[in-house]
Structure 1
Amino acid sequence: MASKNLRKALAETLEDLSRDDLRRFCFQLCIKEPWIKTSDLRGRNPIAITDLLVSSFSEVDAVSVAVNILNTIGCKAEAETLVMKERGQFTLHPRGKNHFVDKYQIQLIAEVRNVKPILNELLTKGVIQQESYDKIMALPTSQEKIRELFVGLKAVGVGGKDILYNILEELEPHLIENIHQKNVLRGGSSNVGHLRNVTMEMRDDWIKVEPKVNREDGEDAPTYSLQTEAGNFECCVSGMRWVCKEKVSFKYRFGSWEEHTERLETMQYIPGGPLQDITVIDGKFDEVYLPHWICTDDNPTILSKFAVLHIDTCGDVVEQVSEVTPSHVKLSEPIFSPRGVLMKAGFPVKINCKVLIFKTNKAFLTLHVFLIPRDPALQQTIKELSSGYKMIEKPYPVKSLKMRNHFILTADKDSAEISPESLKLVYESSDPNFFEVFIDSPDSNFQLTLSHESGPVWTCVIRKDDYQNTGEIQVMYDHELARVRSTLVANMSVELINQLLDDLLEDGVLNDGEKDSILQENSTRADRVRCLIDMVKKKGCRATRQIVTHLQRRDPSLSAELGLAFGLPV
């Protein structure tokens, strides 16, 4: 294609993008090519963006870059069309008539057989409603169902067709590939098949900075302070990002959504990110991005559902956002008061989650396992509620999870006791529920699995080193046993000695020969106690813990008299 036509094809492709898709295109362009700044693209129309691309690359390379980014943001039909325009196989037409779903409607009606999973995904993503779903499913044949679906898609526009294409590509990959081969590649080779599989390597150019933490007397929540020079930064704690052209210093505190729950319900919104009270001390921000935990993948229609809650002396105000990325929302004006990201309520939402695991200080292994949104404020609350417990850090779930779904937690240990049986994924800002995992003396690695009715969504291995601080625990048990040794020698009865020998034999701490040697080689009661304690201590942490536990169970009165600590950690 001639240079002039290449430029025209690129410009028309960008002009056909929706406003949200064009913003996402520009954002991804800045990530892929860091030397192109957001300020270079701000306020530019598609023709100006085309000129920037062509002046930065050759015409052919500009098209290649654009196709790559279009695939990355989910505009695969537009990418395909642009490739065909480049090859001269496609007459330039308005976008709507050339969408993959429109072009190959007849073939899709004839060849799609398994309709229900497709409808389930469209219902989940809010493209169709329950009434439409029921109407379509009531039809007798797959052809009639798909035909009725296409009738309904006319009302949702290009965004709904984009989502259907992505679903078809996931659930019917062979069909989509065959359609491309028959209709796109006829008469010559093409890059379309390759381009559909291109994923851009994401580069994060934000400089992460650690805030200074201050907690004043009488304050429930700590204050975080930061100071930076000019540049692009991200707070390691809150996830907030900012761009400044000069030195800036500010502080923030996390707020609670709890006091705003009724107001949000009235306005039909749910929390979508942490609530932060930000105060600028010196300097100014040029751009500010608040973090969110909503999954935006493969669902362009969700981008219009975002908003920001702005709280001032006049009350709560909901503001529209100027830009949404997969992890952040850009503030239209970097003016501060308590602010947080909101998501419109009333349709299914998937969120990015974390699993937090805490080991309690109980005598036997007891874990508290929290499933929560990736909310730093909620993490802070949970850590404070779990103060004194050991946090076991494990990778987070890779896939996003649907709000209000129920999940179960299992362990590959027969002796494991887990309650409750299931947990609903909801946002609880002050008193989040959790799974309690109880395992009596695991003494080995084991696996935890979080599952939905559709299958596992997260697994991790809990290793012995995660729950056994061997050195510290050994010292604690050895110290306790050494402290009461002389008293036990003086007071332990023959009956108690025999009971402990039987218990330790049953546990495998002692064998028959060792038990017999204690009884036969020591003529006095006191010598048997000394020999038993010293032999057990040499066998390590598990043996020491076992004799202490059995002593407490067999003679609680003596244990209490000795001040022998109950509830030593596993």
Structure 2
Amino acid sequence: MEKIYESLKYLSDMELENFKKILQKALWSKGFRLVLRNQDETLERLKLAEVMEQLFDRQSLQVTMDILEEMKRPDLQKKLFDSSSASERQPFEHPERGEHVEKDSSEWTRVEPTITDVDEAPIYSFQSAAGQFECNVSGLRWVCEDKLCFKYQFCSWEGHMERMKTIGYRSAGPLINITVITGKIKEVYLPHWICIDDIPNLLESFSVLHINDSGDVLEKVSEVTATHVRLTDPVFSPLAAVISSIFRVKVTCNVLIYYQPHMPFLKLHVYLILHDPALQQSVHKEESSIGYEMIKKPRPDKYLRMQQGFTLKAAIETAKVQPKKLTLRYDSQDPNFYEVFIENPTRDFDLTLLCADSKKKEAKLHPVWTCEIRRDDHPKSGLVEAAASSGGATCLSSPNSKIFQTPKTRILPELRGEIDP
């Protein structure tokens, strides 16, 4: 990196722009696209050298010399040549892109990660021999030919989504920071949440985004399956599947449900979010900080359309739900939620998520997800706990039952005249 920087600092601003254009052209022919962020003059050259080292490792010296040759700067080319050993000068080649062939799910060995820092951003660690593996937490898949040790964390998309929009891309999967400790990953399959049924040109529509301090690199993918995108001989940094901006694609989602304990009523916070583990961790941390507890339920089994409005209904007479409608959005890292308030939760009930068919002018709402909320899902709230804590009796025979204290003396109407006031 230092050797490349020494060459770049001798370029004028105009020559530097030319250098970046030639690099962009070379990268795209090999399956990459570089998007540098604005930096001051010195920092820009340093960060550009850093990006080249991350992408090409020791081949970065040869790539730099090839570009300097095209720019007709033999002086800098010779300077760089003299400072590098013959062993460092290797031709810049990228492995051949694979065909669009999806492996059967039975070919993957599902493995459990070791999880540390559970209360913050969890770190997932693996040690594996040669083979094809799938993490049973995230669905991340990898292929290795020898012993391997690596770790990863989910990262927030906050601060990155707006930047992606400016270059015509949207997030298509969780942002994952992978660090290889020992060994090498031959292939990595990154999970994505896009329904690919309506996307005609899969390989052209999908890319993998690499994020670093100086800029973003978009890499062409080798393969797109219903659940993953594949990279061969991957370079690791925070990375994720992205898709060129397609209006209102369908995606996999999570419904997160939290309740407020130690209350005589039942209050729920219900979130509809993308199937993004980092966002789920953020919501869980926020809800836990204010004392709410999670009710775990299955997520929707079907794809839901982005920018679609959804309505939540609770099938119990005393339920109040607000707001009336929420829109499923890409860019919300602070997602809104439904608040469900039920004064007397005396029985089980269903929560149902509904949306309208946007292709019809007068569309009726139809259900896309339903779950049953049972009394044992929220054991620390509602009438049962309130009665137990007050020492009184509770009547649960009617939806309108109320908590009452049993009086010490009961006065019957027919004996009223015989009792001394």
TM-score (norm. length: structure 2): 0.64
Bigger radius of gyration among the two:
1
1:283 aligns with 2:183: yes
- Where does residue 464 of structure 1 map in the other structure? 375
1:353 aligns with 2:253: yes
Distance 1:339 1:510, change over 3 A: closer
Give the superposition deviation at 1:420.
0.8
Q: Which amino acid aligns with 1:427?
A: Y
Residue 274 of structure 2: which of 368, 373, 393 is its match? 373
Q: Which amino acid aligns with 1:379?
A: Q
1:249 aligns with 2:149: yes
Contact 2:379 2:385 (C-alpha < 8 Å) held by counterparts = no
- Where does residue 208 of structure 1 map in the other structure? 110
Residues in 2 aligned to 1:413 and 1:474: alpha-carbon distance in whole angstroms? 17
Q: Secondary structure at the match of 2:162?
A: helix
RCO higher in 1 or 2 (8 Å CA, sep ≥ 6)?
2
Contact 1:213 1:224 (C-alpha < 8 Å) held by counterparts = yes
Distance 1:234 1:322, change over 3 A: same
1:265 aligns with 2:165: yes
Residues in 1 aligned to 2:353 and 2:155: alpha-carbon distance in whole angstroms? 29
- Where does residue 211 of structure 2 map in the other structure? 311
- Where does residue 448 of structure 1 map in the other structure? 351
Q: Secondary structure at the match of 1:331?
A: strand
Distance 1:360 1:427, change over 3 A: farther
| Structure 1 or 2: more strand by fraction | 2
Q: Which amino acid aligns with 1:409?
A: L
Contact 1:256 1:429 (C-alpha < 8 Å) held by counterparts = no
Contact 1:237 1:376 (C-alpha < 8 Å) held by counterparts = no
| Structure 1 or 2: more helix by fraction | 1
Contact 2:114 2:126 (C-alpha < 8 Å) held by counterparts = yes
Q: Which amino acid aligns with 1:458?
A: W
Residues in 2 aligned to 1:435 and 1:303: alpha-carbon distance in whole angstroms? 37
How many residues are paired up?
300
Distance 1:422 1:244, change over 3 A: same
- Where does residue 502 of structure 1 map in the other structure? none
Give the superposition deviation at 1:357.
1.2
Residue 241 of structure 2: which of 328, 341, 349 is its match? 341
Residues in 1 aligned to 2:284 and 2:196: alpha-carbon distance in whole angstroms? 28
Give the superposition deviation at 1:240.
1.0
Contact 1:353 1:400 (C-alpha < 8 Å) held by counterparts = yes
Residues in 2 aligned to 1:436 and 1:221: alpha-carbon distance in whole angstroms? 27
Give the superposition deviation at 1:515.
5.4
Contact 2:258 2:287 (C-alpha < 8 Å) held by counterparts = yes
Give the superposition deviation at 1:477.
5.8
Residues in 2 aligned to 1:381 and 1:288: alpha-carbon distance in whole angstroms? 26
Residues in 2 aligned to 1:323 and 1:313: alpha-carbon distance in whole angstroms? 27
Q: Secondary structure at the match of 2:107?
A: coil
Residues in 1 aligned to 2:277 and 2:131: alpha-carbon distance in whole angstroms? 24
Contact 2:318 2:344 (C-alpha < 8 Å) held by counterparts = no
Q: Which amino acid aligns with 1:210?
A: E
Q: Which amino acid aligns with 2:265?
A: F
Residues in 1 aligned to 2:240 and 2:164: alpha-carbon distance in whole angstroms? 12
Structure 2 unpaired stretches of 5+? 1-97, 358-365, 393-399, 413-421
Matches within 5 A, 1:361-440: 361=261, 362-387=263-288, 388-428=291-331, 430-440=333-343
RMSD of aligned alpha carbons? 3.1
Residue 221 of structure 2: which of 312, 321, 334 is its match? 321
Give the superposition deviation at 1:370.
1.0
Give the superposition deviation at 1:238.
2.5
- Where does residue 559 of structure 1 map in the other structure? none
